[in-house]
Amino acid sequence: MNPIGCKWVFRRKINPDGSVRFKAHLVIKGYEQQIFGETFAPVAQLTSIRLVLALATLNRWEIHHLDVCTAFLNPRLEDTVYMEMPESIEWLKPTHDSDSQNPILRFNKALYGLKEAPRLWYQHIDSFLGCIGLGKSDNDPNLYFTKDWSLFLVLYVDDILLLSKSSDLIGMFKAKLDAKYKLNDLGYASQFLGVELTTESDYLFLNQQRFIQTVLNRFGMPNCNSISTPLEVKRFVSTTAEYDKGNQAEY
């Protein structure tokens, strides 16, 4: 078997309070894989996320955000995969045979970039959530809840939302998750999947202002003039009518 290459991925992420944090991921070049099994892994539907947020706002539930650290490193890898030695980790080389000019690594667990890694991670956490008493929606495999509907859990890869009226219940499930995985407890949800969440009185406001500003900066338009209606309404209506008229003419 030929070893697969790897590389470091460095990212600069902006926290909800505007502070900046830097992250480094070692990823394997999964596109070099020639043999692998099933790779599909579901993620939470956006309609499910909006639904539980609406229920939480209506019933004044608490919304907490958790992030699983190095999620893909938790499940064990069944297939045999070899990887080239990554850069800047020279301390690993003495553990290998000194006669080897190109030492390689064999995986015991999954790594970011492997084609089957997302599926293995989902199967791993899905099994654990079932063991701690959470049922799963028939329509969304990433929406979980207790039998009495007192707590909801939304899973999106390694991001988790916990929603419940009882802070003690949320704390209990946090403790169960923390005992199994290494978690980053972000407290009350203020940002999820790039969407900022702002709670005021009985309302929950969702916006992507920071993301929009990032797109404008990327295309050199941070100082462009704003407009309330980006597209002419009449032009859209007339275009739609002409399209429908054309379809009727074809029939």
Distance, CA of 145 to CA of 154 (rounded, Å): 9
Q: Give 74 or 1, the one with higher predicted confidence.
A: 74
Lowest mean pLDDT among 35-39, 197-201, 203-207: 35-39
Q: Which residues pair with 153 in a beta bridge?
A: 144, 162
Average pLDDT, the chain: 83
What is the rounded end-to-end Cα distance, in angstroms, of the chain? 58
Distance, CA of 141 to CA of 195 (rounded, Å): 22
Lowest mean pLDDT among 43-52, 165-174, 193-202, 236-245: 236-245
Burial annotation 69-87 (CB, 10 A radius, 16+ → b, else e): eebbbbbebeeebebbbee
Whole-structure pTM value? 0.77
Judge contact between 210 and 190, C-beta under 8 A: no
What pLDDT sits at residue 250? 47
Dump pLDDT digits (tens) for 137-193.
Answer: 999 999 999 998 899 999 999 999 999 999 999 999 999 999 999 998 888 988 888
Lowest mean pLDDT among 84-88, 211-215, 231-235: 231-235
What pLDDT sits at residue 132? 92
Q: Give 14 or 9, the one with higher predicted confidence.
A: 9
In this prediction, residue 25 has a pLDDT band, given cuts at 50, 70 and 90, of: confident
What pLDDT sits at residue 104? 83
What pLDDT sits at residue 109? 87
Dump pLDDT digits (tens) for 87-140.
Answer: 877 666 655 554 556 678 888 888 888 888 899 999 999 999 999 999 999 999
Q: Is the pLDDT of residue 208 over 70?
A: yes
What pLDDT sits at residue 172? 93
For the chain, give every domain's residue range. Answer: 6-245
**Percent of the chain with pLDDT strictly greater than 90:** 31
